[in-house]
Amino acid sequence: MSNSASQQPALENTYVIIPMLNEQESIALVLADLPEVAQVIVVDNGSTDDGPDIARQHGALVIHEPQRGYGQACLTGIAEVDKQLDDDPEQKLTAIVAFIDGDYSDHPDEIVNLIAPIASGEFDFVVGSRSRGQRESGAMHFQAIFGNWLACTLMRIFWGAKYTDLGPFRTIRYETLKDLEMKDQNYGWTIEMQIKAVKKKCRIKEIPVSYRQRIGVSKISGTISGTIKAGYKILFTIFKYRFGFG
């Protein structure tokens, strides 16, 4: 059996969530490079451009979430997956949820590599590591590289976690995702998931992923205010789960 044929059942059980904010220049490229999956859910987080219409034209289900925040957009996407799986308890057992950004910095076709370890039954949660993969020069700002290193170092010290990145490109078993009971509505989303996965003793794997310069300006590392807010929230989340405050 060919690799593409063996991957097909996993793709058919995969729901892709893409938070989007003013990404009309890139969203069509992301959607074009994704293989066919169960459902692509683009969560429009208040775009003022034509991104939502473009996403819809390329076959995505577009959901509008007016409350700003990366985590809130992801939570809204998960709620849609819940709705689609609500009447199919058997499919819940095999469903996989993937998260990828809408700026075309990740390589959407690499999703097959991230779902394979989960589809095989060996792992529950897979993080795409930009640190271990082929990264285009200038694709990550220094503050993002340093912030990822610091966060991963602290997670290793506090919980023995072996992460090398807080990469937004990730896949997770649906039932595992529900068990994590995600809460964060903004910058702490990715690290909350990674901390909780370790604390819940999930079977975790990192896979190198390719990374290129995004189309447009980063809402986080591309601005001073975004960098400060994200850095604060990531550190706050780490210490909250380590020392139980907040």
Q: Domains of the chain, with CATH numbers?
A: 3-243 (3.90.550.10)
Q: Say how far residue 171 (Cα) sits from the centre of its chain.
A: 7
Question: What is the pLDDT at residue 1?
Answer: 37
Question: What is the pLDDT at residue 224?
Answer: 65
Q: Please report, for the chain, how many H helices and E strands are present, in that order.
A: 10, 7
Other CB atoms within a 10 A radius of the CB of residue 60 amount to: 24
Q: How far is it, in rounded angstroms, from Cα 91 to Cα 84?
A: 10
Mean pLDDT by 10 residues, the chain (246 residues): 59 97 97 98 97 98 97 98 93 96 97 97 98 94 91 97 97 98 96 98 98 80 72 94 81
Question: What is the pLDDT at residue 169?
Answer: 98
* Beta-bridge partner residues of 42: 18, 62
Phi, psi of 41 (to 5 degrees): -115, 110
Pairing of strands 39-44, 61-64: parallel
C-alpha torsion 72→74→76→81, nearest 10: -160
Question: What is the pLDDT at residue 89?
Answer: 86
State the amino acid at position 110 in one-letter form. Answer: E
Question: What is the pLDDT at residue 10?
Answer: 93
Question: What is the pLDDT at residue 9?
Answer: 75
Q: How far is it, in rounded angstroms, from Cα 100 to Cα 190?
A: 11
